[in-house]
Amino acid sequence: MGLAAVIVGGGILLSRFMGLFRDKLISLLFGATRESDLYFAAFVIPDIINYMLAGGYFSITLIPFLTKYFEESEEEGWRFFSTVFLWVSVAICAITAVAFFSASRLADLAAPGLDPHSLSRLAYFLRIILPAQIFFLCGSCLTGILFMRKQFFVPAVVSIVYNLLIIVGGVLLRSKGMAGFCWGVLAGSFIGNFLLPLLAVKFGGGLRLRWSIFHPGLKKYILVALPLMIGQSITVLDQQFMRIFGSFAEVGAISWLSYARRIMMVPVSVVAQAAGMASFPFMADLYVKGDFPRLYRTIRSALQNVMTLLIPVCLWMMLVAQPTIRLIFQEGRFGASDAEMTARLLQVLLVCVPCWGFQQVLGRGFYAKLDTLTPAVLGTIVTVLVIPLFYLLAIHTGAVGVAWASVSALLLYTVAMTAWWGIKWGGEAFAGLPAATGKLLLVTGAALLPAWTALQASPFDPHLSPHLAAFTQIVLSGVSFAIFFAFLSARFVPDLARPFLGRIGPIGRRLLRDRTVEN
């Protein structure tokens, strides 16, 4: 499971860097302007359609069923997969066609705060991006096969190819404004998210599709996936809410929030999503075998490791938010004032990074038990409750208010999921986590003090050499934080640090041995 997490996490890390480069290019060419706002807003409707068909969780919910039927016989497994693939393809093609011809009306729903001229261009962007959902969803079916086979490499690189083709489209068609990036989205979804998994399944074990319109497992699968289709959780709508309610704020707000969220999601994706994706096939396998003690230990271990990484990383990222945004985005049409506002939003959004990590792992614990109803119901309730909060804060406090509404929503959802798991299945999966988290916060706080001192030690003036100053601030602060955190964690929380320090080389192992000798 650890090796799988490394493969998935490495792919996601490269993908996130590609995404950062893509957004850097957008900020360079278009800054935080109405044109860039429209590009980010153009994803609202396509993403919601994807969520309505459980696209974000499709391969996750499919894995337990694939595991079950392929264990019975390969013929039965392919018949079940073919039935699901057929109906998914029909559904997404029909919905996409309706949305394509209703783009003008849907644009007004995606960004209700925009003027008519902007809405017309938004509808144009929307028509380009919408067909990509067909490739995303059909590709998710194929990715489910790869995860079932525990083949993680191709799922780890599809997003890299996707982002690369967006960049290529944006550069080659830059004379058409943000439309070039939209065409890149369409090309990237076909090649990266559909064609690559198709070839990987075909040549990595075989693909044997059948003409099958019915399978006994289809009804069971629909019942499991239906809550994810009906219930729209805050975790999947969070980004869309930022775009929708950001349209009520000042020009550039959608872009600032999108850039800040892009940076915030790097640790979430690399650590939390990788751990969740890699651990889920093992959770599903333990559930099928009925080995619940090992299932709960697996969840607890994944939660503990995720929090051990995310808490120090996100707190240090808060410290270096200003130089980070300055280094990555401040150039071309993205000025110093844009960088300052984006950094402020990033600091707010980083508050909820541990919540993202916690629910990514715990949510897959629910799915491994084939309980998709509880996360969907809790997520829908939280979503309904926070909509007024998003609107009020957007109207009265602008982009900063939207960011705080997002943090509040994720915190509420995480608490609700944790409480319900404890009520339904007990607290074995959380044993020792509160005490460990408290110690980790103290160790991280102590390591931040020298990191803050190092941040002030940059010899370069941010006004004269903004990028060089930002780079040295990040490096000095990061090295200082890493050294002190490694030493303090090995001394005061060795059980939490061991899975990581033991793998970083001789120095990490020496720190752990020294602590063992003392004890």
Amino acid at 161: V
Choose the weakest-confidence range: 71-75, 301-305, 342-346. Answer: 71-75
Give 334: exposed, middle or buried? Use CB within 10 Å, 0-12, 13-18, 19+: buried
Q: Could you tell me if 43 and 162 lie in one domain?
A: yes
Mean pLDDT of 170-177: 88
Choose the weakest-confidence range: 347-351, 374-378, 441-445, 511-515. Answer: 511-515
Per-residue DSSP letter, 430: G
Range of the domain at 445: 432-519
pLDDT at 518 over 50: no
Residue with tokens 């690559």: 196
Q: Could you tell me if 343 and 387 lie in one domain?
A: yes
Q: Could you tell me if 261 and 149 lie in one domain?
A: no
Residue 24 falls inside a structural domain: no
pLDDT above 90 as % of the chain: 33
CA distances from 359 to 47, 454, 473 (A): 20, 34, 32
Residue 1 falls inside a structural domain: no
Q: What is the pLDDT of residue 516?
A: 46
pLDDT at 150 over 80: no
Q: Residues 38-63: pLDDT tens digits? A: 999 998 888 888 777 655 556 666 77
Q: Is 330 helix (H, G, I), strand (E, B) or coil?
A: coil
Distance CA 110, CA 52 (A): 15
Closest CA relative to residue 453, chosen from 422, 432, 425, 479: 479
Which pLDDT band, with edges at 50, 70 and 90, does 27 fall under? confident
pLDDT at 270 over 90: no
Q: What is the pLDDT of residue 7?
A: 63
Instruction: Take residue 159 and report the two structure tokens written for it.
Output: 């997003």
Which pLDDT band, with edges at 50, 70 and 90, does 371 fall under? confident
Mean pLDDT of 72-76: 82
Residue 391 falls inside a structural domain: yes
Residue 16 falls inside a structural domain: no
Q: What is the pLDDT of residue 367?
A: 80
Q: Residues 200-258: pLDDT tens digits? A: 888 888 888 877 788 877 777 777 776 666 655 667 788 888 989 998 888 889 999 99
Q: Could you tell me if 519 and 408 lie in one domain?
A: no
Q: Could you tell me if 56 and 169 lie in one domain?
A: yes
pLDDT at 3 over 70: no
Give 152: exposed, middle or buried? Use CB within 10 Å, 0-12, 13-18, 19+: buried
Q: What is the pLDDT of residue 517?
A: 42
Give the mean pLDDT of the chain. Answer: 84
Q: What is the pLDDT of residue 228?
A: 60
Q: Residues 459-486: pLDDT tens digits? A: 887 777 888 999 999 999 999 999 998 8
Length of the chain: 519
Per-residue DSSP letter, 56: G
Q: Could you tell me if 208 and 330 lie in one domain?
A: no
Q: What is the pLDDT of residue 476?
A: 93
Residue with tokens 């706080």: 445
Beta-carbon neighbour count of residue 98 at 10 Å? 11
Q: What is the pLDDT of residue 191?
A: 93
Q: What is the pLDDT of residue 232?
A: 55
Q: Is 519 helix (H, G, I), strand (E, B) or coil?
A: coil
Instruction: Take residue 103 and report the two structure tokens written for it.
Output: 């783009």
Per-residue DSSP letter, 178: T
Q: What is the pLDDT of residue 449?
A: 94
Which pLDDT band, with edges at 50, 70 and 90, does 11 fall under? low
Q: What is the pLDDT of residue 79?
A: 87
Q: Which of 407, 431, 455 is the last residue in one of the domains?
A: 431
Q: Which of 182, 208, 230 is the last residue in one of the domains?
A: 230
Q: Which of 393, 408, 431 is the last residue in one of the domains?
A: 431
Instruction: Take residue 168 and report the two structure tokens written for it.
Output: 């290529």
Instruction: Take residue 64 and report the two structure tokens written for it.
Output: 């337990």
Question: Cα-flanking dihedrals φ and ψ of residue 231, to 5°?
Answer: -80, 125
Q: Residues 300-332: pLDDT tens digits? A: 888 888 888 899 999 999 999 999 999 988 888
Q: What is the pLDDT of residue 392?
A: 94
Helical segments of 204-252, H only: 216-230, 234-246
Q: Could you tell me if 168 and 60 lie in one domain?
A: yes
Residue 8 falls inside a structural domain: no
Q: How many structural domains does the chain have? A: 3
Q: What is the pLDDT of residue 507?
A: 61
Q: Could you tell me if 261 and 213 lie in one domain?
A: no
First to last CA, the chain: 30
Degrees to nearest 5, angle at CA 179 with 178 and 183: 125
Which pLDDT band, with edges at 50, 70 and 90, does 345 fall under? very high
Residue 26 falls inside a structural domain: no
Q: Could you tell me if 261 and 182 lie in one domain?
A: no
Residue 66 falls inside a structural domain: yes
Give 60: exposed, middle or buried? Use CB within 10 Å, 0-12, 13-18, 19+: buried
Amino acid at 389: L
Cβ neighbours for 386, distance < 8 A, ≥ 6 positions apart: 234, 241, 405, 408, 409, 412
CA distances from 127 to 38, 106, 179, 205, 271 (A): 13, 10, 11, 36, 34
Q: Could you tell me if 331 and 251 lie in one domain?
A: yes
- In contact, 455 and 326? CB cutoff 8 Å: no
Which pLDDT band, with edges at 50, 70 and 90, does 139 fall under? confident
Q: Which of 11-25, 199-213, 406-420 has the highest mean pLDDT?
A: 406-420
- In contact, 261 and 101? CB cutoff 8 Å: no
Mean pLDDT of 402-429: 92
Radius of gyration of the chain (CA): 23
pLDDT at 32 over 50: yes
Residue 100 falls inside a structural domain: yes
Q: Could you tell me if 342 and 404 lie in one domain?
A: yes
Q: Could you tell me if 169 and 295 lie in one domain?
A: no
Instruction: Take residue 485 and report the two structure tokens written for it.
Output: 């955190």
Closest CA relative to residue 357, chosen from 254, 476, 424, 440: 440
Q: What is the pLDDT of residue 311?
A: 92
Q: What is the pLDDT of residue 174?
A: 85
More confident residue, 195 or 145: 195
